Amino acid sequence: MATPAASANSKSGLRKLAPAEVLFNDGEPADSLFIIQKGQLRLYKPKGRGFVEIAVLRTGEVIGEMAFFDDDGGGRRSCSAAAMTSSEIIEISFTAFAKTMSSLNPWFKTIINTLANRLRKTNARVKELESNSVAIDYGTGKQGEYEFMKPLELVKMLGAFFLVLKAHGKTHPMGTILDKKTLLFYTSDIFSLLEVKLDSLLLLLQQLEHVLIDDKGDGEATILVKNIEMIRHIFLHLNTERFLEEGKKLKVSSQCEMFLEKISEHIKKVNPNVEAIEIVINPILKFFEERSMKIGIANLADAQNYGICAEPLVDDTGTVRLQIDVEKLNKSLPIIKFNSMMKKANQEKTNY
């Protein structure tokens, strides 16, 4: 459908976007519109030190077309757009699009322009009413640090996800399967949670291999949850931590996280069905050393503070032994990885 237009201008054609790659920024001059061939794009509006989330667009939808009709805005972008997943889009220059429009019946062009004007006015009103994700300190009146996904929002979405899975999920050989439209009915229509944030959470859970998303296009998708109890586990942990003092929360460095991952892999190979075990960690230390990764036994301090492991013991031969609470490691590591990826996702969206 875009091929004829694509040949009319050098700016037209297929483009590929990496996850988190920005397609365009709010206020930039606009000279093209786009058709999404594959993937998902997030629309958002800068506000203060944060952003207002507007929408998620998917395969088959058009993006950036409003600037073509925007006489008042001087042909500038009315919001920002960035890829949520690896995406493919067809770019159609306004020059090529204008040629197509000029060939239309005059009354049809009038209808299109009228609809575009009404939609622009509606969007402007919606943006005025949108709430922002930036916290306000009502003592000072200043905005706090921007967080795309706040802890309470995560708890609400994970809680809703678990309950909908229990109520509507169907048994599958690989776990529990759920129609995404059913989930959206509860999260968006009933709990008024933003779809863009739910999609971001689902993509994060997919990266962690807790879920598989089968996107069939045209808004149809199914979600396969490998272990429904893992969703419950993450939900309960995050909800509990909301009420803990900062010093009592589960926080580990990225180096400690990598160390614990290697320890977990080692235990699964030697004896996974134990509550506690003592292991020799010299091979793990050698693994880091060979790759010039500056990770050593000192990086286990966070894990020791949380009771996942004891202090490493070094004997006269240089052998380093470590006592591991396997049960606590197995419960904590998924949370650590989830928190780490959530922090990274927040930082990425803050830096858009």
Do 80 and 185 lie in one domain? The reply is no
Average pLDDT along the chain, 352 residues, taken 10 residues at a time: 37 85 90 90 80 83 78 70 92 85 75 67 53 43 64 90 94 95 87 85 94 83 94 93 85 94 92 87 95 94 93 93 94 94 82 60
Residues 123 and 7 in one domain: yes
Contact 318, 306 (CB under 8 A): no
Q: Is the domain of 123 the same as that of 165?
A: no
Domain boundary (228, 247, 266) is at 247
Same domain, 260 and 242: no
Q: Is position 136 within any domain?
A: no
How many other C-beta atoms can be found within 10 angstroms of the C-beta atom of residue 346?
18
Q: How far apart are CA 299 and CA 28, in angstroms?
A: 45
Beta bridge pairs of residue 179: 222
CA distances from 157 to 51, 147, 162, 339 (A): 20, 16, 9, 15
Residues 287 and 307 in one domain: yes
Residues 13 and 120 in one domain: yes
Task: Give me the CATH number covering residue 320.
Answer: 1.10.10
Q: Which domain holds residue 269?
A: 250-339
Q: Please tell me the distance from the alpha carbon of residue 67 to that of residue 52, in angstroms, as a whole number.
A: 19
Q: Which of 206, 211, 161 is nearest to 182 (CA)?
A: 161
Q: Is 70 exposed, middle or buried (0-12, 13-18, 19+ CB in 10 A)?
A: middle
Q: Are residues 8 and 122 in the same domain?
A: yes
For 64-102, the DSSP string reads S-HHHH-TTTTSB-SSEEEESSSEEEEEEEHHHHHHHHH
Q: Which of 76, 99, 129 is the last residue of a domain?
A: 129
Please say whether the dihedral angle defined by the alpha carbons of residues 336, 342, 347 and 348, taken in this order, is positive or negative: positive
In a domain, 67, yes or no: yes
Is 119 inside a domain boundary? yes
CA distance 47 to 179: 34
Does residue 242 sit in the same domain as residue 267?
A: no
Residues 189 and 262 in one domain: no
Query: CA-to-CA distance for 279 and 269, rounded, in angstroms?
Result: 12
Clarify whether residues 113 and 67 are in a common domain.
yes
Instruction: Tell me 322's DSSP state.
Output: E
Question: How far is the C-alpha of 284 from the C-alpha of 262, rounded, in Å?
Answer: 7
Number of domain units in the chain: 3
Assigned domain for 350 exists:
no
| Same domain? 182 vs 278 | no
Rounded to 10 deg, the angle between the 151-168 and 195-207 helix axes is 80
Look up the CATH number of the domain holding residue 223. 1.10.10.10
Structure confidence at residue 137 (pLDDT): 43
Q: Are residues 255 and 215 in the same domain?
A: no
Residue 29, strand partner residues: 76
Concatenate the DSSP letters of all residues of 9-57 into one string.
-TT-EEEEE-TT-EEE-TT-B--EEEEEEESEEEEEEEETTEEEEEEEE
Per the domain annotation, does 134 fall within a domain? no
- The residue type found at 324 is I
**Does residue 16 belong to any structural domain of this protein?**
yes
State which of 129, 162, 182 marks the end of a domain: 129
